[in-house]
A and B are shown apart, each in its own frame.
Chain A
Amino acid sequence: MVSGLGEVAAGLSKGALQPSELLEACLTRIAALDDKLHAFLRLTERTARAAAKAADLRRAARQPLSAIDGVPIALKDNFCMEGVETTCGSRILQGYVPPYDATAVARLEAAGAVIVGKLNMDEFAMGSSTENSAFGPTRNPWDLSRTPGGSSGGSAAAVAAGLVPGALGTDTGGSIRQPASLCGCVGLKPTYGRVSRYGVIAFASSLDQVGPLAPDVQGVALLLQSIAGQDERDQTSSARPVPSYGELLEKSVRGLTIGVPKELFAEGLDGQVERAVRAAMARLEEDGCTLKPISLPNAPHAIAAYYLVATAEASSNLARYDGVRFGHRAQADSLLEMYQATRAEGFGAEVKRRIMLGTYALSAGYYDAYYLRAQKVRTLIRRDFEQAFAAGVDAVVSPTCPTTAFRLGEKSGEPLAMYLSDVYTVPANLAGLPGISVPCGFDQGGLPIGVQLVGRPFDEGTLLRLARAAERGREQRTPEGF
């Protein structure tokens, strides 16, 4: 089994690998191993085999559509794909088959990627453990008694277990970076607006962003390359040109300045996680980076602000699941009862909790105190980052997650404890900045640890460069049994 998406792409390019062979190898591994993980909700074998055959021909003719032509990719189950059931991890969408493709999916397909299937997730991307999936949790390949993180837990587990060389996820408060960290793979949340959200089932529209997960930084760069760029169907997508990430990736990091925010190395941080992160920072310093202490004074308020903005938007975004046009519909005698029963039966506890929180935050008389105030905090957090960047910082470093992977059920009764596991990832979403998590070591139990880098808006290039450097010195392991 090849170790990274970059290597897979190189193998395909040289003709050492064939897309169909590669797909069959993935399908075989999924069939053999996914019972243990439950990363996949469903496979798209038939269309994948057809796509791989077409890629075989292009590769044989040396006319690939892109560097990832023929690479098997899996999608978090909140990406709409024409003709393929898309549930968002929710009972309310069970059986729902979208009539159209998300832009990111269409772009992957246009680049020749072979879509293998749909991956498990916390219902409507609300959660940090994938335990909130209506279809059962996903397990962490490093320890099957532990969660892979979430909400893109299926994506991270599938990539970390080598079931697919790459996957797409979405990140609203850390949902790509946190599971990537807990599963020991690379996960990138691009700048808000870098990748189209069209066709991605919304959780919190002003925070959601599509991003790639792969075993290697190069793989993440290749996937970003194929999905980034403006989309007229998403008016929050940016017109800024997309650079060639592959070229930026190999540039030296010498002379770059990395900000070290004291607020993100504070209490609650596991000692082993901190040691691994600081070791990665030291390696970057050896490569010629400068570490500079900075302050993000408003970062401690990020979780509070995030859970108001995100739930407020979610309460509105999830109103369309009313049983009228698609998805689950409960039988009832009146319209109101139908609404109530449909939503009571269709949504899980965490989704209901967040809809109620968000509805409350937007209610007459509370809007100013909650939603508006949270938006003000958000502006302050963005300014904190702007000041750091203005002072010459190229990226801000922190742990991705305060701990390594936690046990299934460990936090599921304590929503607040679960929310706090997003403490380091949420500020990048509130500020709309790109963030990446790169594996940087293991704790004594052999669980992976990730380091997070947050960069300037649309400067994914620098982040990928730093991540590439951080990745070089790390210890390589594969999870036992995978």
Chain B
Amino acid sequence: MLQPVIGLEVHAQLLTRTKIFCGCSTAFGAPPNTQVCPVCLGLPGALPALNRAVVELAVRAGKAFACRIAGRSVWSRKNYFYPDLPKGYQITQFDLPICAGGAVDVPGLRKVQLTRIHLEEDAGKSVHAEGGSEVDLNRSGVPLIEIVGEPVLRSSEEASEYLKALRLALVYLGVNDGNLEEGSFRCDANVSVHEPSAKLGTRVELKNINSFRFVRQAIDYEIARQVAALGRGERIIQETRLYDHEKNETRAMRSKEEANDYRYFPEPDLPPLVVSPAWIDAVQVPRLPNEITAGLLAAGVAPADARTIVGDPRLAALHARLGDPRRAAHFIVGELSRALNDREVNLDALAFEPAQVAEAWALQDAGTISSTGLKEVLAELIRTGKPPAQTVLERGLAQVQDLAALDAVVDAVLARYPSEAGKYQAGKKTLLGFLVGAAMKELKGKGNPSALNALFRARLGG
């Protein structure tokens, strides 16, 4: 039985305001070639000057994944010709990367070992159209980390789970925005198959996979292609293949023989990158999703709810500010998720403050509103940000709590339904609901149900 072996290389754009070697903006979506300068255009004479912010983000990621952080790493030039590569070389790190080793914790799977994480600059973007190609260099010089995973994944499902975990961790770290559509999180896959007793098979590199679904499809297609080829007695050749998601197939791009000789050599325009142990120590690492999940479970949040909350850093941040973890979890997966699903509100621009949710809870705790009333108050809060007390007032949601008033209603109900009262006393305890319901009807739904319960019980002897 042939066993697939998969290793992934992820390019993640770092969340810095400016590019890695110049002061140009990294903002996505500007008109083509408007965020450029002599440095990122590769004009004659221009030189790179390192943006220290990128180093901190790379070290943060490295620390989060328990990599060894190099006190001295070296920039190299990777030389090749392409119209969207303005200098004719990419500044990257080759034999001495900033982070080595480490692992990513994948929930439900295991730790997936990393080979390295290195810093590099992005190239521009080529747009191929009828009648010619156009180049946008806004992306040229945008900072990236390349996260190279060990070839230890065994299926497309594992690959996808690893990628999801990695993406989420980078988003929590504030290192990457996790946006696959805008290309700020990109993936190449190395795929091979072998008999488990034999050495690893020849690997094929898959490029151009830009969604989790395509990762699974591309890898599955490639595994099947390799297994079929070997079954026919053919040999797998080392090559780079492009995934075409419209046809769901991979196509040969270039073989090893045709591969570029990148002629790596140390970048003479930049001194080696030196970071002191004290500086590395001072780099703060926010809590990772796994730690946050563990905390929620310990606080009694249901596993499925915890998954939902941690799956979106904005929900997790909101959860942390709401107080009472279980109640907060119910609020998030309940009322809030409903409103989000109905597209009533936008998670990036919530109308309410977390403290207002606590106010609503307090109203319920004090008996001022019922659980039904709470739902109404929260729905209004989520939708409009209206203070809970105001909603209670405007909608008349306050319960009647005056015992004398309630007592009078209990009297009236018992007088109207003597036979039900008698049956209750004879042991048909389920009739309590009927009696309380009748009282509620009398009170137009505003009676405090637990108070009514208590009054009926006291009157009818338990």
Seen from chain A, the residues whose Cβ lies within 8 Å of a Cβ on chain B are 78-80, 86, 88, 93, 96, 98-100, 102, 197-202, 204-206, 232-236, 312-313, 315-316, 318-320, 322, 324-326, 335, 339, 359, 362-364, 367, 371
Q: Are B45 and A206 in contact (CB under 8 A)?
A: no
Q: Are B86 and A102 in contact (CB under 8 A)?
A: no
Within the complex, what minimum Cβ distance (angstroms) separates B305 from chain A?
50
Which chain B residues border A96 with CB–CB below 8 Å? Answer: 44
| Residue in A201, A235, A313, A364 whose CB lies within 8 Å of B45 | A201
Does more than half of chain B's interface fall in helix, strand or loop, or is it mixed? loop
- The answer to whether B44 touches A201 (Cβ under 8 A) is yes
A318 / chain B contacts, CB cutoff of 8 Å: 88
What B residues does A202 contact at CB under 8 A? 44-45, 269
Q: Does A205 contact B269, Cβ atoms closer than 8 Å?
A: yes
Given known contacts A99-B38, A235-B270, is B47 in contact with A316 (CB within 8 Å)?
no
Q: Is the CB of A320 within 8 A of B42?
A: yes
B47-83 contacts to A, CB under 8 A, are 47-50, 77, 79, 81, 83
Q: How far is the CB of B90 from chain A (nearest CB, A)?
A: 11
Pairwise interchain contact A93-B265, C-beta atoms closer than 8 A: no
B135 touches A324 (CB 8 A): yes
A339 to B88 alpha-carbon distance, docked (Å):
11
Q: Which residues of B contact A (CB under 8 A)?
A: 38, 41-50, 77, 79, 81, 83, 86-89, 135, 261, 263-265, 268-271
Q: Is the CB of A205 within 8 A of B43?
A: no
Most buried by A among B44, B45, B89, B264: B44
A442-B38 Cα distance, complex, nearest whole Å: 45
Nearest A residue to B33 via CB reads A325
Q: How far is the CA of A102 from the CA of B38 in the complex (A)?
A: 11
Q: Least Cβ distance of B128 to chain A in Å? A: 11
Chain A residues with CB under 8 Å of B47's CB are 197-198, 233-235
Does B263 lie within 8 Å of A363, measured CB to CB? yes
Q: Is the CB of B265 within 8 A of A235?
A: no
Q: Determine the chain B residues whose CB is within 8 A of the CB of A100 once the complex forms.
A: 38, 43, 46
CA of A247 to CA of B43, assembled, Å: 39
Partner of A319, one of B48, B88, B261, B270: B88
| Contact partners of A367 in chain B: CB under 8 A | 263, 265
Question: In the complex, what distance in Å separates the CA atom of A374 from the CA atom of B81?
Answer: 26
A86, B44: Cβ atoms closer than 8 Å: yes
* Interface residue from A199, A236, A359 paired with B263 (Cβ < 8 Å): A359
Verify A233–B77 contact, CB threshold 8 A: no
A327 CB to nearest B CB, Å: 8
Given known pairs A198-B47, A319-B88, the reply for A236 and B42 (CB within 8 Å) is no
Using known A-B contacts A316-B89, A319-B87, A362-B265, determine if residue A233 contacts B49 with beta carbons closer than 8 Å.
Answer: yes
B87 contacts which of A206, A320, A362 (Cβ < 8 Å)? Answer: A320
Question: A80, B44: Cβ atoms under 8 Å?
Answer: yes
What CA separation (Å) do A93 and B43 show in the bound complex? 11
A201 to B270, CA, bound (A): 16
Kindly identify which residue among A98, A233, A319, A371 contacts B79, using a CB–CB cutoff of 8 Å: A319
Q: Are A322 and B88 neighbours in the complex by a CB distance under 8 Å?
A: yes
Q: Tell me, rounded to whole Å, the shortest Cβ–Cβ distance linking A76 to chain B.
A: 12
